[in-house]
């Protein structure tokens, strides 16, 4: 299973992404969702993921800064 991390500052978006897709039927495991890039970077440093789904512009950190990590 490929590991997925969701990053979005809006909780309703995180909930929707978690619940509207049957991740396991597609071969993915949803490992965590984070509300900002700081949380995501901390998680990724210790737990690599194959797929990162993120808002393009979260407060205090953009996706571009996160991808440069």
Other CB atoms within a 10 A radius of the CB of residue 14 amount to: 18
Is the predicted pLDDT of residue 61 greater than 80, yes or no?
no
Look up the pTM and report it: 0.82
Other CB atoms within a 10 A radius of the CB of residue 30 amount to: 19
Other CB atoms within a 10 A radius of the CB of residue 33 amount to: 20
Q: What is the mean pLDDT of residues 48-59?
A: 82
Helices (H), 1-69: 11-19, 37-46, 63-68
Distance CA 48, CA 7 (A): 14
Is the predicted pLDDT of residue 69 greater than 60, yes or no?
no
Residue 47 has φ and ψ, to the nearest 5°, of -140, 85
């Amino acid at each position: 299973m490929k590991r997925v991390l969701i990053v979005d500052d809006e909780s309703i978006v995180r909930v929707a992404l978690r619940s509207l897709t049957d991740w396991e039927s597609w071969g993915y495991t949803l490992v965590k969702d984070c509300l900002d890039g700081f949380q995501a970077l901390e998680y990724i440093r210790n737990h690599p993921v194959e797929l990162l789904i993120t808002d393009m512009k979260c407060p205090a950190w953009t996706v571009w800064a996160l991808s440069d990590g």
